[in-house]
């Protein structure tokens, strides 16, 4: 079967040959210049309204093409469906889509912001990894809409707009991750394109947006399912006094969110093995800071990940077991049953993006942002898909 590529912006699939090009609209060697104008397909699909050079078809397997109008060479390769400019080396390097789902106020936007910040800084350095925005729009949007809001202004986020309210768009953030891999002549940097999107939890309720989410989820290489223990009745009452509690009106219980995601992924024609969902799913419990006071000092959820460049399978499995035990105290056993019955590969994680509850007026606490284990789920997903070497103590999975 011909190799299929998935656009990191719209998650539609196409063959390498179908990649199109966009003219640079610079003065060409034949003294012509293609006019810039709004690309209506790009505007409708992505919301980008800037004036750009004309799109044209050529052999998408090549890195460059000559514009039929002005004869200038262009290296801007674009998605044939949404016409977004594809990342450098797209189709030549690995491409991994990470979908993030979770109910309203489960902490998706805060988590994504902190995770990416950590990967660009500390956690990235610990794994010999470097992360940067794959395109100008991502860099601008990550900087101004996410990072500045949380790290510079110390503010929480307004609710994520639903895809329906956003003209059926989800606008993923696309990054290039460089990872040092051992090679014949010493370590080599290998690039992987990572695409993250943050859905509004309600998107799984409305019929209209199910189709959109199905495409994103079904074409994802890994899913981060963020579940908020503060939205589980059995856990909410155990939270550290003073924790900012999410409203409970119109919020879906984590088990229902998991049920919807599972139905989507189990739909006919999806990637399954023996009737189970094959996509690796990192089941991440957020806001762990609200529960630390209940854990033994020896709990794996109170220590930090062991140092070293590899993903530590043994440490990860002990966290997995600890979360499974916690689920019993939180009345979360049905969650575990759904995962066991329907997923070939799933693992539990416990994280705290902020390290403690925000203040009553929705600001970062005075002690600052102290992330806990935020990179673990991403590193596991990368390991599952072979982008990251597995560490010592390989258990199952
Ligand atoms: N205690 C605690 N609360 C958090 C943490 N992350 C997020 N929150 C709270 O959860 C709220 C919703 O987070 P947000 O990321 O906007 O949720 P989203 O709707 O899933 O995108 C925030 O305003 C915070 O009050 C965390 O690490 N610890
Ligand atoms: Mg949000
Ligand atoms: Zn041209
Ligand atoms: Zn696209």
Please list the rounded mean pLDDT of every run of 10 residues in the chain (397 residues): 82 94 93 95 89 97 95 96 91 83 87 93 81 86 93 89 65 84 73 79 59 78 92 92 83 83 77 81 97 94 83 94 95 94 96 96 95 94 79 43
Closest by CA position to 220, among listed 263, 172, 164, 268? 172
Tell me the C-alpha distance between 226 and 110, whole Å.
11
End-to-end CA distance of the chain: 27
Question: Bridge-partner residues for 73, per DSSP?
Answer: 66
Q: What is the pLDDT of residue 319?
A: 97
Q: What are the residues whose beta carbon lies below 5 Å from ligand 3 (ion)?
A: 23, 34, 67, 69-70
Contact 175, 88 (CB under 8 A): no
User: Ligand 2: distance of its center to the CA of 320 in Å?
Assistant: 26
Ligand nearest to the CA of 9: 4
The residue whose CB lies within 8 Å of the most ligand 1 atoms, and thus the one to mutate among 105, 151, 197, 243, is 105
User: Ligand 2: distance of its center to the CA of 191 in Å?
Assistant: 28
Classify residue 359 by its DSSP letter: P
Closest by CA position to 348, among listed 395, 282, 260, 295? 282
Q: What is the pLDDT of residue 395?
A: 37
Residues found in the chain: 397
What residue ranges line ligand 1, CB within 6 angstroms?
102, 104-110, 156-157, 159-160, 243-244, 286-287, 289-290, 352-354, 357-358, 362
User: Ligand 4: distance of its center to the CA of 13 in Å?
Assistant: 8
pTM equals 0.89
315: left (phi over 0), alpha (psi -120 to 50) or beta: alpha
Strands 5-6 and 13-14: antiparallel
Structural domains in the chain plus CATH codes:
5-78 (no CATH), 94-384 (3.40.50.300)
């Amino acid at each position: 079967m011909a190799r299929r590529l998935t656009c990191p912006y719209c998650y539609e699939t196409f063959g390498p040959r179908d990649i199109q090009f966009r003219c640079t609209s610079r003065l060409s060697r034949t003294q012509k210049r293609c006019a810039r104008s709004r690309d209506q397909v790009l505007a409708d699909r992505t919301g980008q309204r800037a004036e750009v050079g004309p799109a044209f078809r050529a052999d998408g397997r090549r890195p460059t093409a000559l514009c039929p109008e002005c004869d200038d060479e262009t290296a801007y390769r674009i998605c044939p469906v949404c016409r977004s400019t594809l990342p450098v080396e797209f189709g030549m390097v690995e491409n991994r889509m990470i979908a993030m789902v979770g109910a309203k106020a489960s902490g998706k936007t805060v988590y994504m912001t902190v995770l990416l910040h950590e990967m660009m800084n500390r956690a990235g350095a610990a794994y010999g990894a470097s992360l940067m925005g794959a395109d100008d729009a991502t860099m601008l949007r990550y900087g101004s809409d996410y990072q500045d809001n949380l790290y510079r202004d110390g503010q929480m986020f307004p609710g994520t707009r639903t895809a329906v309210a956003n003209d059926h768009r989800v606008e993923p953030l696309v990054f290039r991750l460089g990872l040092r891999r051992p090679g014949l002549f010493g370590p080599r940097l290998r690039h992987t394109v990572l695409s993250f999107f943050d859905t509004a939890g309600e998107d799984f309720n409305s019929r209209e947006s199910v189709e959109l989410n199905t495409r994103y989820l079904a074409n994802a290489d890994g899913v981060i399912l963020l579940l908020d223990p503060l939205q589980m009745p059995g856990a909410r009452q155990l939270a550290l006094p003073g924790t900012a509690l999410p409203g409970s009106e119109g919020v879906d219980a984590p088990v229902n969110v998991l049920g919807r995601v599972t139905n989507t992924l189990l739909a006919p024609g999806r990637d399954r093995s023996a009737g189970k969902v094959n996509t690796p799913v990192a089941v991440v419990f957020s806001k762990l800071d609200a529960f630390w006071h209940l854990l033994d000092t020896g709990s794996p959820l109170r220590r930090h990940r062991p140092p070293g460049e590899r993903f530590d399978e043994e440490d990860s499995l002990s966290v997995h077991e600890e979360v499974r035990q916690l689920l019993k105290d939180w009345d979360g056993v049905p969650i575990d049953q759904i995962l066991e019955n329907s997923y070939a590969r799933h693992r539990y994680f416990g994280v705290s993006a902020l390290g403690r509850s925000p203040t009553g007026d929705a600001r970062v606490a005075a002690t600052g942002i102290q992330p806990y284990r935020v990179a673990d789920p991403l590193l596991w997903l990368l390991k599952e898909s072979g982008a990251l070497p597995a560490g010592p103590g390989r258990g199952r999975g």
